[in-house]
Homo-oligomer: A and B are copies of this chain.
Amino acid sequence: MANCIVAQSGGPTSVINATIAGIVKANQMNPYYDHVYGGLNGIEGILKERFYDLTNMSDEENNVLRQTPSSALGSCRYKLKRDNVADFEKLFAVMEKYDVETLFYTGGNDSMDTVAALSEYAREHGITNRRFVGCPKTVDNDLQHIDHCPGFASAAKFISTVALNTWLDVNVYTRQEVFILETMGRDAGWLASSACLSGVVDLVILPEEAFDKELFLQEVKKSIDEKNKCYIVVSEGAKYADGTYIAAGEAKNDGFGHAVLGGAGNALKNMILDSGVAQRCKVQDLSTAQRCYVTTQSKVDVEESFQLGMSAHMRSTDGKFTGKMVALVRKDQPQYDVDFVAIDADKVANYVKSFPKEWILPNYRGISEEALAYLRPLVVGSPVIIYKDGLPAYVKPYYMR
């Protein structure tokens, strides 16, 4: 018998801990591993031997963990570089010291690259008793070979709910109004496009289409002429044909040189006001809240994230499973459901799945019926949230204990 480590990497989501909960629960149902160690702050903490023993987590804690947003084990942006032999040797030494057979790593592109690199290193060095399994998560939904990424659906549900609610708010006066909702998503338009589920979006600006300022202002004007209002959603990663982010000018203008992605909404606002197409414009940047607002979890999302963790554990008990990511494939049937499958981690690492261009309607006028049919089943259902004094109960982060 041996042990396993579960660890988290990259930007958190509101359901990322459900995968950990699934792995822990699966090991309680089939104690293949003596201990399930939580590795704190991803690879960074594992290299420093920072662990928290999750093996005997109570069902009560397990339930609350599923509705605790953000990485309860802490996260890192540390990327194992293939030429950094010292890190690899240290990691395998730590695994040997703690008799760790399997490392489960939740994350996005970079984390799947870590899984691929570590399993490759083991293979090249003839190490057969150390294995590496990837569990996908990212609100950006930009991983290849998976129908959708755990974490995306809950963020999409929050974004589309905000879109619906703020649209109701922005229309109440008879005066002219332009409202811009900015979402995350990096270079993929999944999150921004999900706002269209609300049915109220006039214009949506995605990174997948080169931004055309003239066309955009023309379409804003059309909305204003027609109804004196315009509801716009923009992805933080929206860019011009030459690849410049539309937020880039904003970052430069702030005078402090803190150029971070974000600010696309303000950039559009300034364009609109400068052009005179409209006289009023409000921006809401959903910022951090969109990836962690836990009381708007999608039931589908939290359950899939949990089951994905269980699936990863169950597959790993064959003693051979390594270098793989557990993925979701949508069943080809009218009723929404998924199969859990295994994909080589190196097929996922470092690739980005864009929002399909053929799903984008012309002139920023939203997304196709096919796109909506893809998105809709993901946001259906709300889990029963456990509250304490009116706020969602949460598990105290393990890295704080």
**Which A residues are within 8 Å of any B CB, using their own CB?**
8, 12, 14, 41, 44-45, 68-71, 74-77, 157, 160-162, 164-166, 168-174, 179, 197-198, 253, 255-256, 258, 270, 273-274, 282-289, 291-296, 298, 376, 378-382, 385, 387, 389-392, 394, 397, 399-400
Closest to A400 in B: B171
Q: Would B273 and A256 count as touching, CB distance under 8 A? A: yes
Say yes or no: A285-B285 contact (C-beta < 8 A), given A44-B174, A376-B389, A392-B161.
Answer: yes
Bound-state CA distance A397–B229 (Å) is 15
Contacts of A171 in B (CB 8 A): 70, 74, 397, 399-400
Which residues of the partner chain B approach A273 to less than 8 Å between Cβ atoms?
A: 256, 258
In the assembled complex, the Cα of A168 lies from the Cα of B381 at a distance in Å of 24
| A170→B71 CA distance, assembly (Å) | 10
Interface contact B77-A173, CB-CB below 8 Å: yes
Count copies of this chain in the complex. Answer: 2
B255/A253 in contact, CB under 8 A: yes
A288 touches B170 (CB 8 A): yes
Can you list 23 A-B pairs with a CB-CB distance of less than 8 A? Answer: A12-B168, A12-B172, A41-B172, A69-B169, A70-B168, A70-B172, A71-B172, A74-B173, A76-B174, A157-B391, A161-B293, A161-B295, A168-B292, A168-B394, A170-B288, A197-B391, A253-B255, A282-B288, A283-B287, A284-B287, A285-B287, A286-B289, A380-B387
Q: How far is the CB of A341 from chain B (nearest CB, A)?
A: 25
Q: Which residues of B contact A166 (CB under 8 A)?
A: 288-289, 292
Chain B nearest CB from A223 CB (Å) reads: 15
Give Cα A255–Cα B249 distance, bound, in whole angstroms. 13
* Residues of chain B with a CB closer than 8 A to A399's CB: 171-172
| Cβ distance A66 to chain B, nearest Cβ, rounded Å | 14
Q: How far is the CA of A283 from the CA of B294 in the complex (A)?
A: 19
Most buried by B among A68, A172, A256, A381: A172
Residues of B within 8 A of A256 (CB): 270, 273-274
Q: B397 and A390: CB pair below 8 A?
A: no
> Which residue in chain B gives the minimum CB-CB distance to A170?
B288
Whether the pair B287, A282 counts as a contact (CB closer than 8 A) is: yes
Query: Given the complex, which residues of B lie within 8 Å of A284, measured CB to CB?
Result: 285, 287-289
